[in-house]
Amino acid sequence: MKKLLYITAALLVALAACKKPDVTPDPSKEPSTNPSEEPSGSPSSDDPSSSPESELKVSVKLSDVYDIEGTKAKVDITITVENNKSDDVFVAVFCSDNKEDFHEDVAELNLKIPVPKQTVELYHLDPATTYYVLAGVEIDDAWTNSNVVSFTMPESPQLNIEMETGEADEIRLHNAILYGSATVTNAPAGWEPAESWFYLSSKEKKADDIISNGMKFYAGTVDDPDISSEIEDLEAGTKYYYVLSAEADGKVFHGDVRSFTTKSFGEVAKAVDLGLSVKWADVNLGSEYYWDNEEYFAWGETMLKYEFTVENYSLWEVDGSGNITVTKYTGKNGSDTAKKLSLSDDTAYKLMGREWKMPTKANFDELIEKCIWEWVSSSSCYKVTGPSGESIYLPVRSFMDEDDLHWNCMGKLAFYWASDFDYNSDEETFSYALRLNTTWYKPNYTYVVTDLERYYGCAIRAVARE
């Protein structure tokens, strides 16, 4: 492939308009200072003008190619002339990636003697390609070749993306926002910026493992000045490792691995002194906002789950006929004498920490009898104000049966588990719960402690342990 050779304007005259000689340069020949054969019609040996002292002498020398960078390079041409009859010098420059093919020149110049050193600048050269340069000079109808020089263009600069994994912010129970940045160098013309992704894992700690096995969250393109991603549905109180990564030109670029820990259930709750025998948490277990209920729990179970059935409840057994045998907290009909949950089965204690526990029926009775209750329709909550003047809000956010959150009960009916049960009842599969009603039962807008079968998924509002 022939590449057009551009000559530095400040150093070279305009392209020649004269006729190109019919001589084709032969790079296999040594540079000559005079024609190898005396042309026909040349002066005879007895002509005084043909003496060695008066013979034309031409030297054409190419320097090594230098300043090879990007798609450009430079070469110098030095021309010396003696015994010339004319001051006109015709120069043809050849550049080819085939050292056997110099039949087409890339520039023709018309110069005057004396000829200063010429600097030739080459443009638009292909990467990783070897080129050969030859110059030919015609003076007084004699053609002289230069030496042939070769050079190889370097490989194209490789695309590089420097990824920086930033800090996590706004870390909550189940959410966090991850930030990062990217610096792109050597992007080819027309390159479309690659997508960047955050990879996240609570198990893997090395970047390659996190990228291979972790969760993936879109963070924008690498040219975005604000690379970020809001991560949701995280587990509370869990340490996560994350890394910012992008893939381009078959390569994976990534930053350093960072980590953050989501807030625990106990961290987000604050104890409110209503002026009662216990202080009440300001949010439901598993939630960060007073008006919400994120998690539902079966009575006496301390793990998160999202399906609540008779068969998957852990504190009884069900036979093939559907008969239930209570295995713990059996009441009067069994051998277990416990009348309320032990701390090992207390959901609030296990998930929020030792500062918290589930309320008893007596705590709920006190809340009902000594506080002022108001319905707040804008948040579907009961506002409960104690003798101290402080308030808490209890959202009415339904309950779960099987995998069904009863949406038709939202804002109308909800249950909150107590830690105890009626020990003397023949209904050993039931425990106490606070029932909040608005328009589901008659009379409307009532709040009472009732019995509820233990496998249902209900809300929990903790109280502080003294």
Distance CA 440, CA 436 (A): 10
Q: Do the domain assignments include residue 45?
A: no
In terms of domains, do 254 and 307 share one? no
Q: Do the domain assignments include residue 44?
A: no
In terms of domains, do 354 and 440 share one? yes
In terms of domains, do 324 and 420 share one? yes
DSSP one-letter string for 380-442: TEEEEE-TTS-EEEEE--B-EEBTEE-GGGTTTEEEEE-SB--TT-S-TTEEEEEEEESSSSS
In terms of domains, do 200 and 103 share one? no
Q: CB–CB of 397/410 below 8 Å?
A: yes
Q: CB–CB of 280/461 below 8 Å?
A: yes
Q: How many domains does the chain have?
A: 3
Q: How many CA atoms lie within 13 A of 300 on its CB side?
A: 24
Q: Do the domain assignments include residue 43?
A: no
In terms of domains, do 212 and 333 share one? no
Q: CB–CB of 253/207 below 8 Å?
A: no
Q: CB–CB of 122/75 below 8 Å?
A: yes
In terms of domains, do 199 and 292 share one? no
Of 123, 152, 181, the one marking the end of a domain is: 152
- What is the reported pLDDT for 31? 54
11 pLDDT more than 70 = no
In terms of domains, do 423 and 349 share one? yes
In terms of domains, do 252 and 292 share one? no
Q: Which domain holds residue 432?
A: 269-464
Q: Burial of 57 by CB count in 10 Å (0-12 exposed, 13-18 middle, 19+ buried)?
A: middle
Q: Do the domain assignments include residue 399?
A: yes
pTM confidence score: 0.65
Q: Do the domain assignments include residue 106?
A: yes
In terms of domains, do 245 and 282 share one? no
In terms of domains, do 173 and 305 share one? no
- What is the reported pLDDT for 249? 87
In terms of domains, do 216 and 325 share one? no
Of 261, 279, 299, the one marking the end of a domain is: 261
Centroid of chain to Cα 34: 68
Supply the CATH number for residue 106's domain. 2.60.40.10
Distance CA 402, CA 307 (A): 5
Read off the pLDDT of residues 251-280 as tens digits, 9 standing for 90 and up.
999 999 999 999 999 999 999 999 999 999
Lowest mean pLDDT among 28-32, 81-85, 213-217, 326-330: 28-32
E-strand ranges in 203-276 read 215-221, 227-231, 239-248, 251-254, 258-261, 271-272
In terms of domains, do 13 and 97 share one? yes
